[in-house]
Amino acid sequence: MLAAVLDEFGTPLDVREVPDPGVRDGEVVVDVLATCVLPYASEVFGGERRYPLETPVIPGLGGIARVVTTGPDATRLTPGDLVWCDATVRSRDDANTPDITLQGWSSRGDGGLRLSRHFHDGSFAERMSVPTECVYPLGDVDEADAARWSALGVYLVPYGGLLAADLRAGESLLVSGATGNFGSAAVAVGLAMGASRVVAVGRDRRVLDDLRVRLGDRVRTVALTGEAERDRSAMITAGGGPLDVVLDILPPAVDAGVVRTAAMTVREYGRVVLMGGVGMLGGADLALPYPWLMRNSVTVRGQWMYPREANGRLIELARAGLLDLDQDAVHTFPLGRTNDAIAHAASHGGPFTRTVLTPHDR
C-alpha cells in the first residue's frame, strides 16, 4: 500500500510503498477514505511542537474509512461498514487512569509513549489498523461526504472540553481563542449543545464578524484590546453578565494573561476548562487569585481530548443536523500530494476550513 512516511523531523514526508497492516486480535483493518490535515501539522513534523512522536512513522489523526477485516472481538462491525476511526487510544490495563496515545500523532507520559510503539502508524495511508474500540459506525452517511465528515476530529476536541464543563442547554459559554480552527469549532459545538449565548473572543475582528453572520444571533463577539480589565468587562457585557462556562483553547504562543482575563468572567459556581497549548513552549504560568476561586466556588479543570462516548454522541449531533458539517469549506488532496496538503493547511487554518487527504484518489 501507499503511505506518507515521516522519516525525520524537519524533512518532507515520503510517499512510498509500505507493507499492509495485518489484522491482530483487538484491532480492525480499514481502508482510509479521508483524513484531516491540521493547520499546525507542519509544526509537528518540523519538530517545533516537540511532540513525543518517534520516527519513522506514518502520521495522521484518524479519519473516515471502510472496514476491511475485523478481529474476533468485533461482534457488530462487518467488512464494508463506513466508520469513523478515533485516534485517541487508551491502554486496556487500567480503567481508572489509562495511558493515552494519539495514534500517529502524540502521546502522554512514558506509558503513552510505550503504547504508541504498538499503535504507531496513523491515517496518512491507504490502509491502517485501529483498535476495535476506536471504530464507530456512521450508519447511512454517503461515502461521497467522507471528506466533510473527517472534520469530526476537529469538532471532537472542544466537544470533550464542553462535556468536561458539563455545559447544559440554556447556559452561557465563552470561548477564548474562538478565531482559530479548534476555537471556531467550539463555538459551533456549543450552539449545537444548546448554549443560550456563546461569546466568541479573539483578536481578528474580520473572523469574529464572520462567526456572527455564519452562526447567528446567539453568537456575541469580543475583539481583544490587550487591556485586561477592559477586555474582561467587554466579555461580561457580551455574555449578559458573568458566564456559566469558559473554555480556553488558545495556541501555545499566547500569553497566559489572556487566559486569566477570560477565566475571571465566570459567575459564582462557574466552570473553567483549559484545553489549549498555553505554556507548552515556555513562558509564564497561569495565575488565578486563590480568594476569588475559593469565595466564588469556581471550578477549574484541564481536559486533554475527550471521553470515548463523545465519538458516538457527536456523530449523532451531526447526523441530526444540530452540528452542521456543510458549513465547512473542504479542500482535498490525494496521498501523492501530502506535502502540498500540509503546506495548504498551514496557510488555510481559519474557521471552518478543512484540508483533507483522500488516500485512494490518484
Strand bridging mode 353-358 / 106-107: unpaired
Per residue in 265-292, pLDDT (tens digit) is 999 999 999 999 888 777 788 999 999 9
What number of other Cβ atoms are within 10 A of residue 139's Cβ? 11
Per DSSP, the residues of 314-332 read HHHHHHTTSS-GGGSEEEE
The string of DSSP codes covering 189-212 is HHHHTT-SEEEEEES-HHHHHHHH
DSSP-assigned letter for residue 144: G
Region of 352 (left: φ > 0; alpha: ψ -120 to 50; beta: rest) is left
Neighbours of 112 (CB within 10 A): 19
Local confidence band at 194 (pLDDT 50, 70, 90 cut-offs)? very high
Helix-then-strand count for the chain, H and E: 11, 18
33 has a pLDDT exceeding 80? yes
**How far is it, in rounded angstroms, from Cα 227 to Cα 261?**
9
Using CA atoms, how far residue 186 sits from 104, 167, 276, 293, in Å, is: 24, 12, 12, 25
Question: What are the structural domains of the chain?
Answer: 2-151+328-358 (3.90.180.10), 156-302 (3.40.50.720)
pLDDT tens-digit series, residues 70-119: 999 999 999 999 999 999 999 999 989 999 999 999 999 999 999 999 99
pLDDT of residue 283: 78
Instruction: Give the pTM.
Output: 0.95
Distance CA 193, CA 318 (A): 11
3-state helix, strand, coil in the chain (%, to 5): 30, 25, 45
